[in-house]
Amino acid sequence: MTATLPPPARAPLSPKDYASDQEVRWCPGCGDYAILKAVQKTLAEVGARPEQTVFVSGIGCSSRFPYYLATYGFHTIHGRAPAIATGVKLANPDLDVWVITGDGDGLSIGGNHLLHVLRRNVDVQILLFNNEIYGLTKGQYSPTSRPGTKSPSTPGGSLDHPVSPCAFALGAGARFVARSIDTLQAHQVDVLKRAHAHRGASFVELFQNCVVYNDGVFDDFTAKAVAADMQLPVVHGQPLLFGPGGEGRRGLRLLPGKLELEVVTIGEGGITAADVLVHDETNRTLANLLVALAPSRFPMAIGVLYCDPAPSYEREVHQQAAAAGPPGSLHDLLQKGNTWTV
């Protein structure tokens, strides 16, 4: 009995095998280096075949990413990577496509395309590097900058309200929403592997520190001194606990009588581990509550916040095309309908 033959084997690849021969040109200390490393490690761990893998990016610091990977890569135009990636998947659904974008690229000039690639559920992994600033154009505030951000274009502080990338993704109908932090190497790799395994559009917000224009903007939850207290790593089926272990460990529960979360401390006021909410990544309502948590009142939720797969767009498009019938001939097409002979 014969089974389908596996693809021609290439020797297992290590993370460095996914590095291209191009010199990396980000600023020293940029969070992008750590993300690049995590992506290379992820590719190695999932056994990605370089010839089947395509990285598509827009414009901005993050969008240089494809040049540094030894896969197929397309550095496109500002904000449009999701649309180009959609075309790639429509042309060849078997390709493994990653979209690399940033807060300006993905949520300002390209907000419309991000909305639609998510709602269509095209099977791509979208990594949005959020540094809350425009780096490549030298430090203007971005759509994720907090109110009052001083920048060359907002010397008196920015006035407009920021967009939350994960809330946007959920609102757009994304079926996979996750978060990680540039400095958390192992956590990032776990999240990226989950994103890769997910069929359909997977959206990952990566908090990325811009050392030049917005250094330390995430210190309220990433600085070593506060990290344990201010990060909530969510795991499906596990209680939403954070902070140091043992007595005094904190968790989240639903505030009785309200559709809100509150922080509780185990052992205080009769609170036990059983009172703490258990993470259910298929629960969209819970995901909406988790993405809204922010320091200083709450920890920052990271990990897979929401995952509830549905058939991907390009697969359904091709199924519909296949159902249209066997390949037709041009001759028959032209002869169809009303013709006459002279």
Binding site for other proteins (CB under 8 A): 8, 10, 20, 22, 50-52, 54, 56, 59, 66-67, 69-77, 80, 83-92, 94-95, 112-113, 115-116, 317-318, 320-321, 324-331, 333-335, 337-342
Cα separation of 117 and 128, whole Å? Answer: 13
Beta strands in 146-284 (DSSP E): 176-181, 202-207, 231-234, 241-242, 250-254, 261-265
- Least Cβ distance, residue 340 to other proteins (angstroms): 5
- Least Cβ distance, residue 142 to other proteins (angstroms): 20
Cα separation of 233 and 298, whole Å? Answer: 13
> Are 234 and 290 in contact, with CB atoms under 8 Å apart?
yes
- Least Cβ distance, residue 336 to other proteins (angstroms): 9
Residue whose CB is less far from other proteins, 67 or 154? 67
Residue whose CB is less far from other proteins, 258 or 331? 331
Cα separation of 302 and 204, whole Å? Answer: 10
- Least Cβ distance, residue 305 to other proteins (angstroms): 25
- Least Cβ distance, residue 301 to other proteins (angstroms): 29
Residue whose CB is less far from other proteins, 24 or 293? 24
- Least Cβ distance, residue 200 to other proteins (angstroms): 17
Cα separation of 143 and 131, whole Å? Answer: 10
Residue whose CB is less far from other proteins, 56 or 174? 56
- Least Cβ distance, residue 284 to other proteins (angstroms): 23
Residue whose CB is less far from other proteins, 259 or 330? 330
For residues 28-62, b (16+ Cβ closer than 10 Å) or e, as one string? eebbbbbbbbbbbbbbbeeebebeebbbbbbbbbb
- Least Cβ distance, residue 36 to other proteins (angstroms): 14
**Identity (one letter) of the amino acid at 244?**
P
145 in helix, strand or coil? coil
Cα separation of 61 and 102, whole Å? Answer: 8
Tokens at 196, concatenated: 């890769």
φ/ψ (deg, to 5) at 120:
-75, -25
72 in helix, strand or coil? strand
Residue whose CB is less far from other proteins, 88 or 230? 88
Residue whose CB is less far from other proteins, 51 or 220? 51
**Identity (one letter) of the amino acid at 156?**
G
Residue whose CB is less far from other proteins, 33 or 74? 74
Report in angstroms the alpha-carbon separations of 140 from 61, 78, 79, 210: 13, 16, 17, 12
Residue whose CB is less far from other proteins, 116 or 249? 116
- Least Cβ distance, residue 320 to other proteins (angstroms): 7
| Cβ neighbours around 103 below 10 Å, total | 26
- As a whole number of Å, the CA-based R_g of the chain is 23
Report the sign of the C-alpha dihedral through residues 103, 167, 32, 194, in that order: negative
